[in-house]
Structure 1
Amino acid sequence: MALISLRIPDDMAVRFSALAVAEGGKSALIRRLIADALAVRAPCAAPLQIGRPEKVTLRFRDSEMRQLAEIAQRRGMTRTGWIVALVRARLGSPVQTCPDEREALRAIVRELNRIGANINHIARAANAGVQQGRAIETGLSEIREVKGVIESALTELRRIFGDNADYWRAGR
């Protein structure tokens, strides 16, 4: 069996450990997350090889170089970064993002993490109520609010991925 290890910030590790308790432990949760990710996203191309990339030299006319610079600048990328992203997108690699898209995705991840923490608090309070023999008073308005924020974040996530896929399709 393969071993995967990673380093994460201490505060994230504490929150992950708390979340993993209800999932059978950290290893069990990580295995489930990996299995879910693989089930959802079957690779459409061979994965990129890990290791040092090789250099490719391309020659363009001055007018093409100006066009490349303009296009890359509009995406907030360097010329080289834009060319590499274009080639990787055409090879079937995962989403190629520009700085604005990465920041939008980070904001969505932060919001979903905040929601996850709130849901954990709600679940913990509900569990404490059950253990103490009290009736659980569900905060329906809070749950509806969380549901709305999740739906909004997912809509924004779908939009970003859709816009990104549209951008890198041939003919752009």
Structure 2
Amino acid sequence: MPERKRYRQVCLRLTDDEYALFEKKCSDSGMSKTDFLVSVLKNSTVKVYRIEEALRPMMKELRYIGSNINQLAYFSNIGQEQPVRDNIESIRKSHNRLTAEISGFLKALRCNADVW
């Protein structure tokens, strides 16, 4: 009897729906479960995104916006509405631009996701 090459074992937990999908894909492929998983493993690509690095400048700017809002709240509370009126529009524009930038970043992630 030839020596078995595959001696590593992996335990996998799936929901009932995931398991049914797994069974169907194995059946449709005509492969055993092991061969199917090995094929998926060898023929798929995993993309890793360093989200924290990409979002760091956006988070920094968001903190600045929060700080500016706190300053405007202070001026408003002490009865100095003019600084609030002078700065509120620029904060709104910064916030809208940043929101669009984050939205674009997340949309790009979804568009580049591999589906198999």
- Aligned residue number for residue 66 of structure 2: 116
1:144 to 76, 85, 89: 89
Cα deviation, 1:90-111, whole Å, max 9, x if unaligned, reads: xxxxxxx612x43222221211
Runs of 4+ deviating beyond 4 Å: none
Compute the TM-score of the two structures, normalised by the length of structure 2: 0.55
The answer for unaligned runs of 5 or more in structure 1 is 1-45, 47-56, 69-81, 86-96, 130-134
Aligned residues: 79
Structure with the largest fraction of helix? 2
Highest relative contact order (Cα 8 Å, sep 6+), 1 or 2? 2
**Paired residue type of 1:98:** Y
The answer for unaligned runs of 5 or more in structure 2 is 1-14, 16-36
The 5 A counterparts of 1:27-106 are 58=38, 60=42, 68=45, 82=46, 98-99=49-50, 101-106=51-56
Distance 1:128 1:137, change over 3 A: same
CA–CA distance in structure 2, aligned partners of residues 104 and 142 of structure 1: 28
- Aligned residue number for residue 98 of structure 2: 153
Aligned-pair CA distance for 1:159? 0.3
Cα deviation, 1:30-63, whole Å, max 9, x if unaligned, reads: xxxxxxxxxxxxxxxx9xxxxxxxxxx8463xxx
**Paired residue type of 1:161:** L
Compute the TM-score of the two structures, normalised by the length of structure 1: 0.39
CA RMSD in angstroms, aligned pairs only: 2.8
Aligned-pair CA distance for 1:119? 0.5
**Paired residue type of 2:111:** D
**Paired residue type of 1:155:** A
